[in-house]
Amino acid sequence: MTLCLAKYSALESLAAAAQPAHGLLALPRTEPFDYDAPSSKAVADAQRSLPFLTQPATFVLPDASYRRNLRGASFLICKHAAVPGALWNLRAPADKPRQRNRNPIPAASEAVQGLPGTSSPAFCLAQLGVELPLVQLAELACSLTGLYRFAPSRTGSILDAVPIATLSEMRGFLERHSSIAGSRNARRALGHAIERLGSPAETALCLMLCLPRRMGGFGFPHPVANGTITPSSSRRARVSQSEFHPDLLWPKARLILEYDSDEHHRLPQQAARDAKRRNDLEILGFDVIVATRAILRNVSLFDKMADQIRLRLGLRATIRTEKWLQQRAELRQLLLSPSPNSHYWR
């Protein structure tokens, strides 16, 4: 029998797979899992094989008849655990860690004994769609498709991860299986998410700018996150890089928003590289606006930055009604303040 992780335990396993240095791969599975009533030994073996799991681990079962009252484990009952694409294999690569192929089809022999399976990103998003506010569900969707490790890290580093899923992949699964509990909320969240964001702060920044006004956002059009700008041959000699990957880009407006974190941009040599890079982008004809942690956290400073972006995008002024101001305060609370489970994706 193979145990399969669910909810926050699944998030932790997917986060480990999103960071290649961890040496764990999460791979789509084509054949169904062989379910049976879980045993204490199976639960202990699963948790021993993945020591980063939060206690107690949560496992998904397709039928309540499989449930057992076992110490150190909880169970989610969902009949959709048997549908194609709901569950993935967890696999430890035989050689050094490598980035995951975007569409691998693992052979049955690739599964490693002792490693549990895990809910797929889309199935996990639906599971949490039952209990999370829509804003935090959209934040989680950004994290699952982002370039950063989205769960608690012992080293404190959250960068240099590979996307564990894409928005289109998750949307396709949820549309095919729309009767899964939480699927409707998960699909709504995907409509507000942006993939390939570079950090939790960039995710909060982007959502506060782009969520619709009824949710407390400014309603700006979605930017491209970490896309590619290639200088034309006539301008290549005038800049120092052959490619640029700005944090947030609105291509039609030729507007770039960069987020400078305190951790990665405060060293003098990094500040000099940032300045050179921005000068190069302006040579290429882009306007560059810089956001910092102080701006993100300060309502007045954030509003002034948002107004600069609005002007460059050619949008009408934001009407600040009492209702919108209250919704904005609630949005900031959800995205910037700790909550019982937000540490799983920040």
Identify the domain boundary among 119, 149, 184. Answer: 119
Rounded alpha-carbon distances, angstroms, from residue 228 to 84, 126, 146, 149, 248: 34, 31, 16, 21, 11
81 within domain boundaries: yes
Domain check: are 105 and 220 in the same one? no
Choosing from 54, 84, 119, the residue where a domain stops is 119
Residues 90, 218, single domain; the answer is no
Residue 228 lies in a domain: yes
pTM of the model: 0.88
If pLDDT is split at 50, 70 and 90, which confidence band does 21 have? Answer: low
Which of 87, 119, 151 finishes a domain?
119
Give the max Cα distance, the chain: 69
Q: Establish if 139 belongs to a structural domain.
A: no
In a domain, 162, yes or no: no
Within a 10 A sphere around the Cβ of 227, how many other Cβ atoms?
14
CB 151 within 8 A of CB 11: yes
In a domain, 289, yes or no: yes
Q: Classify residue 43: in a domain, yes or no.
A: yes
Q: Are residues 114 and 204 in the same domain?
A: no
Q: Which domain holds residue 234?
A: 200-344
H-helix segments, 90-182:
121-129, 134-144, 167-176
182, part of any domain: no
How many structural domains compose the chain?
A: 2
Q: Is residue 6 part of a domain?
A: yes
| Of 70-74, 199-203, 228-232, 310-314, minimum mean pLDDT range | 70-74
User: How do residues 187-225 score in pLDDT, each as one tens digit?
Assistant: 999 999 999 999 999 999 999 999 999 999 999 999 999
- Tell me how many degrees the CA angle 256-305-160 measures, rounded to the nearest 5: 50
